[in-house]
A and B are shown apart, each in its own frame.
Chain A
């Protein structure tokens, strides 16, 4: 029996009386490549943020690995790739290495004793996305496609079981987009990482996704909720 990693039940989120999400329920299992899709303003990113505990729903429940999201604490199990435009200013002075290291230090100090282990993880994460030679480069001076790969490496750094992605290919050219999806496919099918992606362009990931949730006016469209097992 497949392990249920993310469960949402009757999730409701509103600003005042204006419902952004209404009675959204879903199950996502280990190893899934799940896509949350829908037109702009349908509530996709809001749903993703609720699943990550960044926003608190007014109604319903979310469970991550069987625990209510409010009580979940094993965040090293979770990788997150934000929308690039929301994530950072391209003039931010940070090297690729510094970006990938960031989540690895969430519980430790400047004078860390396991610097060597952390450097090894950074090397491995960057190599796995084909960015091993860019460690010392400034993140803002890379192409958009390369930046997305660095963000994937950052999400992979803690060896997560799930990676959440919010419109990861926004602003990427077609060639980089294809390379990016090939990388995701490999992470999902070879490494077994569960992927939960928000995208407004489902056609691009149709061949990879095995679970699709179509959001329309804040509700999950039942007709679209089909499991496409490949």
Chain B
């Protein structure tokens, strides 16, 4: 197992994986508890449009992913108001637009290539040094933001009216958590892939919630579950030559199943 760590691409994949395993549950916890699980899919499909735009016009796809996912985060919040009472429609609209743009850009770029497949399904060989620097920067923004805003984010997730009355700007924090989710998507795209990134926002959190712990403990447990899934997923991806995103998500699902079986056994 140690020998594969001698390879530069595997070292980069592991560094990227650790960042993914920390940031996904960190933001996923708030997304899940605010019942916004679909936002991961919306932002990831918007970032796909950005990646495709980068491939079409020849700029670094990461910048495209970042720009499109931030734009999507802004538009999701803007569209909530005209669809008050049916706010989830804003997600559907942006998701559809993201896919449509991605399909058009990919078509104009003359179809699929290996690099695009890496973005779609995740690839351990695809993480470049430049990717790592951007991922480190975005991860730092996410971690520092959550550290500073932790209690406020907890409060708006638990009782948004109570939070508003205590003087917290709930609408700003709702937008900010969506923005952080867009950063998380960009951080995770290389390793987990566009199609599966939202799973990693949700699955470790869903598994941790089954443990019956408080908020902070659940958050740390979900990060541990994500770390286990990412590390095992990356090694299996290397040895079995399979897409890293699929391997990581399958490990996450396996852990959820194991925890559910143990829990059911205890309750019986």
Residues of A within 8 A of B (CB): 49, 52-54, 73, 75-76, 78, 80, 82, 86-88, 91-95, 97-99, 101-103, 105-111, 136, 138, 141, 154, 158, 164
Does B214 interact with chain A (Cβ within 8 Å)?
A: yes
Instruction: Give me 18 A-to-B residue pairs in the complex whose CB atoms sit less than 8 angstroms apart, sorted by A's number.
Output: A78-B165, A82-B159, A86-B161, A87-B161, A88-B159, A91-B209, A93-B209, A93-B213, A93-B214, A93-B218, A95-B215, A97-B214, A105-B155, A106-B152, A106-B163, A110-B147, A110-B150, A111-B147
Contact B166 A106 (CB under 8 A): yes
Cα A93 to Cα B216 with chains together (Å): 9
Contact B154 A98 (CB under 8 A): yes
Chain B residue at minimal CB-CB distance from A101: B151
If over half of B's interface residues share one DSSP class (helix, strand or loop), that class is named, otherwise mixed; here it is helix
Does B8 interact with chain A (Cβ within 8 Å)?
A: no
Given contacts A93-B215, A110-B150, 11 further A-B contacts (CB under 8 A): A49-B161, A94-B214, A102-B158, A102-B166, A105-B155, A109-B147, A109-B150, A110-B149, A138-B214, A141-B212, A154-B162
Instruction: Give the chain B neighbours of A82 by CB distance below 8 A.
Output: 159, 161-162
Instruction: Give the chain B neighbours of A87 by CB distance below 8 A.
Output: 158-159, 161-162
Cα A133 to Cα B164 with chains together (Å): 29
Chain B residue at minimal CB-CB distance from A52: B165
The one of A73, A88, A107 in contact with B158, judged by C-beta atoms closer than 8 angstroms, is A88
**Nearest-CB distance from A19 to chain B (Å)?**
19
Does B167 interact with chain A (Cβ within 8 Å)?
A: yes
Instruction: Give the chain A neighbours of B114 by CB distance below 8 A.
Output: none
**Nearest-CB distance from B141 to chain A (Å)?**
15
Chain A residue at minimal CB-CB distance from B208: A93
Contact B151 A73 (CB under 8 A): no
Cα A87 to Cα B163 with chains together (Å): 11
Contact B33 A102 (CB under 8 A): no
Query: What are the nearest 6 A-B pairs in CB distance?
Result: A105-B151, A95-B214, A110-B150, A75-B167, A106-B166, A102-B155
Instruction: Give the chain B neighbours of A136 by CB distance below 8 A.
Output: 214
Q: Count chain A CB atoms within 10 A of each CB in B146, B154, B159, B208 and give the residue with the most.
A: B159
Contact B158 A106 (CB under 8 A): no
**Nearest-CB distance from A108 to chain B (Å)?**
7
Does B268 interact with chain A (Cβ within 8 Å)?
A: no
User: Provided the pairs A73-B167, A105-B152, A108-B151 are in contact, do residues A80 and B214 lie with their beta carbons within 8 angstroms?
Assistant: no
**Nearest-CB distance from B212 to chain A (Å)?**
6
Contact B162 A138 (CB under 8 A): no
**Nearest-CB distance from A98 to chain B (Å)?**
5
Cα A91 to Cα B154 with chains together (Å): 15
Contact A99 B161 (CB under 8 A): no
Does B1 interact with chain A (Cβ within 8 Å)?
A: no
User: Provided the pairs A75-B167, A93-B209 are in contact, do residues A98 and B147 lie with their beta carbons within 8 angstroms?
Assistant: no
**Nearest-CB distance from A50 to chain B (Å)?**
12
Instruction: Give the chain B neighbours of A76 by CB distance below 8 A.
Output: 166-167
Contact B215 A107 (CB under 8 A): no
Contact B168 A99 (CB under 8 A): no
Instruction: Give the chain A neighbours of B212 by CB distance below 8 A.
Output: 93, 138, 141
Chain A residue at minimal CB-CB distance from B216: A98
Cα A91 to Cα B165 with chains together (Å): 23
Instruction: Give the chain B neighbours of A108 by CB distance below 8 A.
Output: 151
Cα A110 to Cα B125 with chains together (Å): 37
Chain B residue at minimal CB-CB distance from A81: B162
Q: When each residue 115-159 of chain B gets 1 if its CB lies under 8 Å from chain A and 0 otherwise, what string results?
A: 000000000000000000000000000000011111110110111
